[in-house]
A and B are shown apart, each in its own frame.
Chain A
Amino acid sequence: MLEPLLESSIKEKVLLYLHTHGESYPREIARDLGLYVNAVQYHLLKMEKGGVLYSKLKGKVRLFGINPRYPFKRDLEALLEKALTFVTDEERARLYKPRLRPRRTGKPLS
């Protein structure tokens, strides 16, 4: 959907992923989306440099997310939300609908 605009399908997938997951790290994004970690890392760093994303260290892991201080954040999120409606139900359920609510330790996932 946004590939002509963003000039990269990887960038689009990464943005959709961060929009729906909140924060994540390169290896997890690459694993979940079935992409090469180097490619994901490249786009994350490029977008961080441009102010679109932020990153922070949590333990030994560098987490990335959409920068709440990016002046076009609301517009970008509106665009991503619209793009999500064009993703197939199967793909949306598989890649962009994570369980974000907490689950107590020891309670099995249903």
Chain B
Amino acid sequence: MNLKDVSLSDLAASICDRCRKNGIEVVLSGGACVSIYTQNKYMSSDLDFVLVSSVGRKRIKSAMKTLGFNEDGRHFRHPDTPFLVEFLSPPLSVGEEPVREIREIRRGKMILRLLSPTDCVKDRLAAFYHWNDRQSLDQAILVCRDAEVDLHEVKRWSISEDMKNRFGVFEKAMSGEKAKVSKLRGIKK
């Protein structure tokens, strides 16, 4: 399979589809979801799929082989693409809570299953909350700017994770972002 100029979302859909055909249910998570929801304003080169249920490595390996991917330690690589594919162990969760809503995006005949924008923001914020990773905070804000995110749900989740104060940092960064956007709009006028 030629993957030279394939986009991240098309590649993710191909992998998701191939896995499903081989009886492996996966959901795309992590930075790749940010790329998709922000139309590549943030560009991830990692495709992290979470396994919905435990699957033997051999089955994953043979499914990936049909797409031309080779195993490289814990990851899979293809000679034609810089994307690195990883399959993470279940459960599919954001923080302490299981993911309940899976978003589906159709790419031609293939369906890509991924975190919803709201869960994607929670996923990024979890990295900010626990690792103090500012890049993840920026990514969460990017997703909020470009996709429909339920901020009340993000707040509820943050509080249940004992991260009310950290949510405050996110809220503050968001309000700064809003001010920046309105200022830019003002200049355009």
Interface residues in chain A, defined as those with a beta carbon under 8 Å from any beta carbon in chain B: 49-51, 68-69, 71-74
Determine whether the beta carbon of A71 is less than 8 Å from that of B89. Answer: no
Q: Which residue of chain A lies nearest to B130 when distances are taken between CB atoms in the complex?
A: A68
Residues in chain A near residue B97, CB distance under 8 A: 71
Count of chain B residues with Cβ under 8 Å from any Cβ of A?
Answer: 12
**Shortest CB–CB separation between residue A43 and chain B, in angstroms?**
15
Known: A68-B130, A71-B91, A71-B93. A49 touches B74 (CB 8 A): yes
Provide the bound-state CA to CA distance between A68 and B93, in Å. 12
Provide the bound-state CA to CA distance between A42 and B98, in Å. 28
Residues in chain B near residue A73, CB distance under 8 A: 96
Determine whether the beta carbon of A71 is less than 8 Å from that of B130. Answer: no
B98-139 interface code vs A (CB 8 A; 1 in, 0 out):
100000000000000000000000000011001000000000
Determine whether the beta carbon of A49 is less than 8 Å from that of B95. Answer: no
Determine whether the beta carbon of B89 is less than 8 Å from that of A49. Answer: yes
**Shortest CB–CB separation between residue A54 and chain B, in angstroms?**
8
Interface residues in chain B, defined as those with a beta carbon under 8 Å from any beta carbon in chain A: 74, 88-89, 91, 93, 95-98, 126-127, 130
19 contacts between A and B (CB under 8 A): A49-B74, A49-B89, A50-B89, A51-B88, A51-B89, A68-B130, A69-B95, A69-B126, A69-B127, A69-B130, A71-B91, A71-B93, A71-B95, A71-B96, A71-B97, A71-B98, A72-B96, A73-B96, A74-B96
Residues in chain B near residue A71, CB distance under 8 A: 91, 93, 95-98
Q: Which residue of chain B lies nearest to A69 when distances are taken between CB atoms in the complex?
A: B126
Residues in chain B near residue A72, CB distance under 8 A: 96
**Shortest CB–CB separation between residue A48 and chain B, in angstroms?**
10
Q: Which residue of chain B lies nearest to A73 when distances are taken between CB atoms in the complex?
A: B96
Residues in chain A near residue B88, CB distance under 8 A: 51
Residues in chain B near residue A68, CB distance under 8 A: 130
Provide the bound-state CA to CA distance between A10 and B93, in Å. 28
Residues in chain A near residue B95, CB distance under 8 A: 69, 71
Q: Which residue of chain B lies nearest to A67 when distances are taken between CB atoms in the complex?
A: B130
Provide the bound-state CA to CA distance between A69 and B91, in Å. 11
Provide the bound-state CA to CA distance between A41 and B91, in Å. 24
Q: Which residue of chain B lies nearest to A72 when distances are taken between CB atoms in the complex?
A: B96
Residues in chain A near residue B91, CB distance under 8 A: 71
Provide the bound-state CA to CA distance between A71 and B126, in Å. 11
